Structure 1
Amino acid sequence: MSIDETSPSTAAAAADEEAAAVTLSVTRYPVAPGHRVNVRSGPGTTYRIVRTLPYGASVPIYCQRPGEWVTGPYGTTNVWDNIADGEYVSDAYVRTGSDGYVAPRCG
């Protein structure tokens, strides 16, 4: 009788492949030209600045959530884009081609 076992290194490789596939399927969106956008720790300008995006940046949007209303080059919105763990930018500065949600709501 044989037992199929997955070695830890094989399991880790499979998890890495799955994570890479998820990362590849996320669409990147351009930040408004001529703007260096502050990345915040939450969905509002009262949250601390984590970093600032350079001119010409594009960002992935993993999920979106409502927050503070902001006016920017792409209108006025309360939608905030989660671009990394604990990192948010106002959708008013990201060209998504939509006035609404383009990604799932953050949980």
Structure 2
Amino acid sequence: MSESVITPETADGTEAEAEALAGRTYVVAADVNVRSGPGSSYRKVGRLSAGARVTIQCQKPGETVTGPTGTSKLWDRIGSGRYISDTYVRTGSDGYVAPRC
């Protein structure tokens, strides 16, 4: 029997699936400021170093940013009031890899 893989495209919206998607960790590609919202105009609330691992709780569109992995308007919420541009995270995807915020 093969193991089922849950992706944002195949998830049916159950709470368990949302938790499974949000439970993955990803590597930060370069040093990045952590912001209080999805844009560089939001207050800086921290900083992550290249190589750090983050758990993406959810993602939402915001300011378009060009970073080490490309250009995107997606921002990753990594904690309450803590966002980083998806272009600084090695997710292996240009799209959503976690539930939308």
1:73 to 46, 61, 68: 68
Residue ranges of structure 1 left out of the alignment (5+ in a row):
1-21
Higher share in strand: 2
Cα RMSD after superposing both structures: 1.4
Q: Given the two structures, how large is their TM-score scaled by the length of structure 2?
A: 0.77
Q: Tell me the matched-pair count.
A: 82
Residues 1:50 and 2:45 aligned together: yes
Residue ranges of structure 2 left out of the alignment (5+ in a row):
1-18
Taking the aligned partners of 1:80 and 1:56, their CA distance within structure 2 comes to 18
Relative contact order: is structure 1 or structure 2 higher (C-alpha 8 Å, sep ≥ 6)?
Answer: 2
Aligned with 1:92: secondary structure? helix
Q: Given the two structures, how large is their TM-score scaled by the length of structure 1?
A: 0.73
Aligned with 2:87: secondary structure? helix
Cα deviation for residue 54 of structure 1 reads 2.3
Q: Percent identity?
A: 62
Larger Cα-atom Rg? 1
Cα deviation for residue 79 of structure 1 reads 0.2
